[in-house]
């Protein structure tokens, strides 16, 4: 089932669009530069806080909080005991002993996919043929069918119930209390097997016109699981189980809270299992490095897109003859790529210089010394070779 639409944009209309793209391109370039500069400050600030914390942390027994450690950065490991039962009260589904319970809901519904092919014409106009295809798929959120290009016959109903996570309010690790939202993400996910009694409770919620059946450990809401209809639901539950956990945080009475380093950054480290303090800090440093490089990559990619948008007008102007337009477009994309590779690292270097000037100067000084040393050795070697040649002559 498909629908095809053909649109044509004149050369003057494309020029107008390209002018708007120049404006948004400059905004994107500036925003990317700010992101890259900010990211260096974030990374350095996090690194400094972790280094400071690694030098201050003390490992303490988890059984009984020592009042002498009040306000200090402590490391504990121990068995996790949930402070309550994780439960979906609406449908009376519970997971005794778990730190969290998750409800997953998928609805069978219409999905629109589109594929476009663009052709440039002599004179600078551009023709785009877009094909919209419609299929039925399971999805964990409602697809907005009202936004479909061909909405008639492809309406998706509202989801009467959606996915949700239910965390225990808190948990005990020895004599310490940890907030539920700090322990639930550490748990290992295991399926909860739903029964006919659970199906009966859901049936009372949906009403008699929507049968509910226990199916493969979950529930199916609809007439026929092997041949679903639009609006049918699949419902399942999983529990988050956590035996042991380790934390680095500030001791606040019997509770664990974020520790504020001298630069204002907060430290609250956690991991499933029994992990020593050094291991937790190492994981945090690795995570910080990964985030830093991902944001650097994202910033440079956004710089490339921004410059490409700024220069796109030249390709449009040259599209009076499509072949020349393609050549100009390739050239401007290459320039945008080179600019992104030059300016991105330059902004990163500025960030380092702003946030760590002494280290940046030391690195620059080392580079100058190494470069001077190599130049000096090459000069002396060249002089020695000239003297040897003169003596042979």
Q: What pLDDT is attached to residue 77?
A: 97
Helix (H, G, I), strand (E, B) or coil at 124: coil
State residue 386's pLDDT score: 55
What is the enclosing helix (H) or strand (E) of 181?
helix 180-183
DSSP 303-364: HHHHHHHHHHHHHHHHTTSHHHHHHHHHHHHHHHHHHHHHHHHHHHHHHHHHH-HHHHHHHH
As given in the structure block, the two tokens for residue 252 are 């606040």
Judged against a pLDDT cut of 70, whether residue 277 lies above it is answered with yes
Structure confidence at residue 187 (pLDDT): 95
Residue 101 and residue 192 in contact, taking contact as beta carbons nearer than 8 Å: yes
* pLDDT for 364: 54
- Average pLDDT for 60-82: 96
Q: What is the pLDDT of residue 54?
A: 96
Give me the DSSP letters along 240-302: EE-SEEEEEEEEETTEEEPEEPTTS-EE-EEEES---HHHHHHHHHHHHHHHHHHHHHHHHHH
Please give the span between the terminal C-alpha atoms of the chain, in angstroms, as a whole number.
88
Residues 323-336 have pLDDT tens digits of 777 888 889 999 99
pLDDT confidence of residue 379: 66
- The percentage of the chain sitting over the pLDDT mark of 90, rounded to a whole number, equals 69
> Rounded to whole angstroms, how far apart are CA atoms 71 and 259?
8
Question: What pLDDT does 303 receive?
Answer: 95
Pairing of strands 58-59, 73-82: parallel
Confidence of residue 322 (pLDDT cuts 50, 70, 90): confident
pLDDT range class, residue 100, cuts 50, 70, 90:
very high
Is the per-residue pLDDT at 207 higher than 90? no
pLDDT band at 393 (very low <50, low <70, confident <90, very high): low
* 189, pLDDT greater than 60: yes
State how far the alpha carbon of 384 is from the alpha carbons of 155, 222, 375, 387, in Å: 85, 90, 14, 5
Instruction: Give the C-alpha separation, 313 to 19, whole Å.
Output: 7
pLDDT for residue 165 is more than 90: yes
- Mean per-residue pLDDT of the chain: 89
Q: Other C-beta atoms within 10 Å of 171: how many?
A: 26
Confidence of residue 381 (pLDDT cuts 50, 70, 90): low
Determine the pLDDT at residue 383.
56
pLDDT at 385: 52
Q: Does the structure show a pLDDT above 80 at 124?
A: no
Residue-wise pLDDT tens digits, 1-47: 677 888 887 878 888 988 999 999 999 999 999 999 999 999 999 99
Q: Above 70 in pLDDT, residue 367?
A: no
257-278: average pLDDT: 96
pLDDT band of 351, cuts 50, 70, 90: confident
Q: What is the mean pLDDT of residues 270-293?
A: 96
Instruction: Judge whether residue 87 has pLDDT over 70.
Output: yes
Cβ-count burial of 179 within 10 angstroms (0-12 exposed, 13-18 middle, 19+ buried)?
Answer: middle
Residue whose C-alpha is closest to residue 392's, from 133, 201, 183, 384: 384
The string of pLDDT tens digits covering residues 148-159 is: 988 888 999 999
pLDDT for the residue numbered 374 = 65
pLDDT, position 368: 61
Whole-angstrom distance, CA of residue 360 vs CA of residue 239: 49
The length of the chain is 393
DSSP per-residue string spanning 296-314: HHHHHHHHHHHHHHHHHHH
Residue 364 vs residue 120, higher pLDDT: 120
Is the pLDDT confidence value at 167 over 60?
yes
* More confident position, 354 or 193: 193
Q: What is the mean pLDDT of residues 337-365?
A: 78
The answer on pLDDT for 358 being more than 80 is no
247 has pLDDT over 80: yes
Query: What is the per-residue pLDDT for 345?
Result: 86
Q: Angle formed by the axes of helices 11-56 and 322-355, to 10°?
A: 20
pLDDT at 363: 53
**Predicted confidence (pLDDT) at residue 214 exceeds the cutoff of 80:** yes
């Amino acid at each position: 089932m498909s629908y095809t639409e053909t649109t044509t944009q004149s050369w003057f209309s494309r020029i107008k669009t390209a002018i708007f793209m120049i404006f948004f391109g400059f905004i994107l370039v500036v925003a990317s530069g700010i992101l890259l500069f900010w990211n260096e400050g974030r990374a350095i600030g996090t690194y400094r806080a972790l280094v400071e914390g690694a030098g201050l942390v003390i490992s303490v027994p988890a059984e009984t909080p020592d009042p002498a450690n009040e306000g200090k950065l402590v490391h504990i490991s121990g068995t996790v005991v949930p402070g309550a039962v994780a439960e979906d009260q609406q449908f009376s589904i519970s997971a005794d002993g778990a730190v969290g319970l998750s409800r997953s809901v998928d609805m069978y519904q219409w999905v629109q996919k589109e594929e476009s092919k663009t052709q440039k014409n002599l004179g600078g106009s551009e023709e785009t043929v877009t094909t919209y295809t419609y299929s039925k798929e399971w999805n964990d959120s409602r697809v907005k069918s009202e936004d479909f290009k061909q909405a008639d016959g492809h309406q998706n109903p509202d989801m009467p119930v959606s996915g949700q996570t239910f965390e225990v309010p808190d948990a005990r690790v020895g004599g310490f209390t940890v907030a539920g939202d700090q322990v639930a993400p550490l748990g290992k996910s295991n399926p909860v097997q739903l029964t006919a009694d659970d199906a009966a409770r859901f049936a009372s919620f949906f009403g008699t016109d929507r049968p509910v059946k226990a199916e493969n450990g979950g529930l199916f809401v609809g007439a026929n699981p092997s041949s679903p209809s639009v609006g049918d639901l699949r419902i399942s539950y999983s529990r988050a189980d956590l035996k042991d956990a380790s934390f680095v945080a500030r001791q606040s009475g019997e509770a664990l809270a974020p520790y504020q380093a001298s630069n204002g950054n907060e430290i609250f480290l956690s991991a499933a299992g029994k992990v020593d303090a050094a291991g937790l800090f190492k994981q945090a440093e690795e995570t910080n490095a990964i985030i830093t490089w991902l944001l650097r990559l994202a910033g440079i990619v956004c710089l490339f897109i921004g410059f490409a948008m700024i220069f796109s007008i030249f390709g449009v102007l040259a599209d009076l003859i499509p072949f020349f337009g393609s050549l100009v477009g390739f050239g401007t994309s290459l320039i945008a790529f080179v600019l992104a590779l030059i300016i991105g690292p330059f902004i990163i270097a500025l960030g380092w210089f702003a946030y760590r000037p002494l280290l940046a100067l030391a690195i620059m000084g080392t580079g100058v010394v190494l470069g001077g040393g190599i130049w000096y050795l090459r000069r002396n070697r060249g002089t020695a070779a000239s003297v040897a040649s003169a003596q042979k002559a």
